[in-house]
Amino acid sequence: MNPASDSEKEECRRLLDGLSLYLDGEAEAALCAEIEAHMAECENCRIVVDTLRKTVLLYREESPAPLPSDVRRRLYAALKLEDYLVTGKGE
């Protein structure tokens, strides 16, 4: 009932850029605050962060790898942000 506007998408994209740092606990305080403020207003990102947090914890039990690219891709797809994905194909 409240389709994301371009500016909201931009907020989501910026949030996702810092999400792996945030989930690793390595984000600066300002970024943490920004992410948490955005999550308070964006249900999509709340769900994504919650899901990702669990995913990252699972992965961490295996190895200290960064956010896997397929997880990132699904994350963007879930938010309909595929347009922002840089896949490296074509120019």
Query: In whole angstroms, how close is the CB of 69 to Zn ion at the nearest point?
Result: 20
Query: In whole angstroms, how close is the CB of 30 to Zn ion at the nearest point?
Result: 17
Tell me the C-alpha distance between 63 and 7, whole Å.
36
Binding mask 40-69 for Zn ion (x = CB under 5 A): --x--x------------------------
**What is the b/e burial string over 54-73, where b = at least 16 CB atoms within 10 angstroms of the residue's CB?**
ebbeeeeeeeeeebeeebbe
Query: In whole angstroms, how close is the CB of 11 to Zn ion at the nearest point?
Result: 6
Q: Which residues bind Zn ion (CB under 5 A)?
A: 12, 42, 45
